[in-house]
Amino acid sequence: MRIQVLTQEDAFYIPRILDLLFEKRSDVVGVAIVPGELQAGRALRFLRMMGPRDFALQVLNLAWYRLLGFFDGLRPQGTSHSVAAAARRGRVPLERVPNVNAPGFITALRARGVDLLVSLACPQKLSGALLAVPVKGAINLHGALLPRYQGIFPSFWVLAKGERETGVTVHWMDEELDHGAVLLQRRVAIEPRDTVHRLVRRSKVDVGRHALLEALERIERGDAPRERMDMTRASYFTYPDAAAVREFRAHGRRFI
């Protein structure tokens, strides 16, 4: 099986998922980084959402991880601190792709003989033309129990809504966001001291990376489920506004 990963640049979560993926699988043929959340033009947006304290902590954390990422390039550390470092450690080809649905990229994947697409926080919807390339389909790792909490920042939203449980979903992808059939799910209890950062680490990273490996094994064996989502239970969330952040704070939660 020939696997292509679609993701975005990240310092905190995705590199840890990739480290394990590349350690356990020798059939990942490429990683494509798509422009995502880590862009300078979005700093003010995050400041307004997170508030001065959490934003400052996030900036400090990012600066520290960027420094560690620099040292990754000189000498690999125990854990990768960037997507590029993870790809380098795993000896997986890396490319930066402005648009995953561009004809040139689709042609390159077809020439590469890609059997399966794996989305890890890929910030772009996949077109029908792209989804038609891999013979085994495309899967996504989502940080909530779909079909509830479709959309972005699910770990923020479950805390804002006072949930006591969340989880991860590996699902088959179609042209709609967080919509395809469920392959597998794993539940995670929400703890009183969970911040957004801590919950993402405990759920999508610590649980999700193993769920992804299990999903890949089941696809390879040919017994991967396709359980249709019950869309009567669906909920969709987008970028948090001021009211959502107040609700989040009212539950005593923080981002960091």
Q: How many residues belong to the chain?
A: 256
**Residue 87 tokens, joined:** 């790809």
**Distances from the Cα of 176 to the Cαs of 60, 171, 173, 181, 236, in angstroms?**
36, 12, 8, 11, 12
Q: Which comes out higher in pLDDT, residue 209 or 51?
A: 209
> Which residue type occupies 46?
F
- The DSSP output letter for 82 is S
pLDDT for the residue numbered 169: 98
If you average pLDDT over residues 235-240, what whole number do you get? 94
Q: Which residues of 227-238 are buried (b: 16+ CB within 10 A; e: fewer)?
A: eebeeeeeeebe
pLDDT tens-digit map of 81-96: 899 999 999 999 999 9
Give backbone dihedrals phi and psi of 105, rounded to 5 degrees, phi first. -70, -40
If you average pLDDT over residues 76-84, what whole number do you get? 82
> Which residue type occupies 35?
P
Q: Give this prediction's pTM.
A: 0.90
pLDDT tens-digit map of 168-199: 999 999 999 999 999 999 999 999 999 999 99
β-sheet bridge partners, residue 169: 142, 185
The whole-angstrom separation of Cα 116 and Cα 133 is 9
- Over 80: is that where the pLDDT of 58 sits? no
CB 30 within 8 Å of CB 95: yes
pLDDT tens-digit map of 100-132: 999 999 999 999 999 999 999 999 999 999 999
> Which residue type occupies 99?
N
DSSP conformation letters of 21-65? HHHH-S-EEEEEEE--S--GGGHHHHHHHHHHHHHHHHHHHHHHH
Residue from 100, 144, 138 nearest 216 by CA: 138
Residues whose CB falls within 8 Å of the CB of residue 226, separated by 6 or more in sequence, listed in order: 172, 181, 182, 183
Task: Please tell me the number of Cα atoms within 13 Å of 214 on its side-chain side.
Answer: 15
